[in-house]
Amino acid sequence: MRSMLGVSLIVVVLVPGIITTAAQNQELKFEVASVKVANPRTGIDMRTYPGGRLSATNCTLQQLIMGAYGMTQQYQVAGGPSWVDVDKFEIEANAGEDFSQDKDRVIALGREAPRKMMLMLQTLLEERFRLKVHHETRQNTVYRLLVAKSGPKLMPTTDSTQRPFVGVERKGPVTQAAIGLAMVGKNATMALLAERLTGSLAHPVFNETGLTDNFDFRFEYAADETQPDQGPSIFTAIQQLGLNIEATKGPVDVIVIDHAERPDAN
């Protein structure tokens, strides 16, 4: 399964207006741009700066597409050659114009960015990677986050001033595969929990609990469901909170890669 990014999900898994084709935005191009194979390193980063500069470090083409087209999860990018989520690249580009005050902004790989610069990135990917894509809405597995029949078993937050947070902790030596995971919430909403579950389950999770308060919680589950000695599955473990995750079918917006080539060194 492809690794996931801890970024947010918007129903219906689509940032309104960002989905468009680079061909429709040929006038939106960076003045200068460099695309290179990345030196091996940990972590990825994409951000924009005042003055029209964009920097992307250690990003796969799949992640670059996610940023350019406003997709929040890797399962929203489908198709393409086998290297699209393996090979990593660095991009330095400059628009020659300052968009930092633009109010028209989107979320790109977890960071806010001017929409026009992401449209420029679409054009750059088309030119340098010979990228061709199209948009589809596919029926796929989605999940509903529900309150169990017995009712919720959530503790109200002890610190309502804390920034709402839901994270995943790993158990075991960092040099080895995790032997267990724990999902931890602090002053967390159910919507935020659904977003984090989306990343863990690699499918959209929609909050249908009806709960509007903020909570603190922790539940532990197996990192690998095929290894029962690691603990319960995430579906079983979340029942400790008086919640259920129910599978169903629903529409998911995806970008489909029709063609892509490795870029020439430049």
- For residues 117 and 54, is the Cβ–Cβ distance under 8 A? yes
Amino acid present at 238: I
pLDDT of residue 16: 39
∠ Cα 242 247 248 (to 5°): 135
Q: What is the mean pLDDT of residues 209-228?
A: 90
* pLDDT tens sequence across 63-96: 999 999 988 888 899 999 999 999 999 999 999 9
pLDDT of residue 206: 95
Q: C-alpha 90: how far from its chain's center?
A: 19
* pLDDT tens sequence across 37-58: 998 766 789 999 999 999 999 9
Joined tokens for residue 195: 């977003």
**Cα 166 to Cα 177: distance, rounded to the nearest angstrom:** 22
pLDDT of residue 26: 56
- Residues forming a β-bridge with 57: 45
pLDDT of residue 171: 81
pTM for this structure? Answer: 0.70
Contacts of 2 (CB under 8 A, 6+ apart): 62, 74, 75, 85, 202
DSSP secondary structure letters along the chain: ----------TTT--TTT---GGGGTT---SEEEEEEPPS-S--EEEEETTTEEEEEEEEHHHHHHHHHT--SGGGEEES-GGGGTSEEEEEEE-SS--TT-S-EEEETTEEEEHHHHHHHHHHHHHHS--EEEEEEEEEEEEEEEE-TT---PEEPS-TTSPPEEEEEEES-TTS--SEEEEEEEEE-HHHHHHHHHHHHTS-EEE-S---S-EEEEEEE-SSTT-GGG---HHHHGGGGTEEEEEEEEEEEEEEEEE--PPPP-
Q: C-alpha 228: how far from its chain's center?
A: 28
Q: What is the mean pLDDT of residues 149-173?
A: 92
- For residues 12 and 75, is the Cβ–Cβ distance under 8 A? no
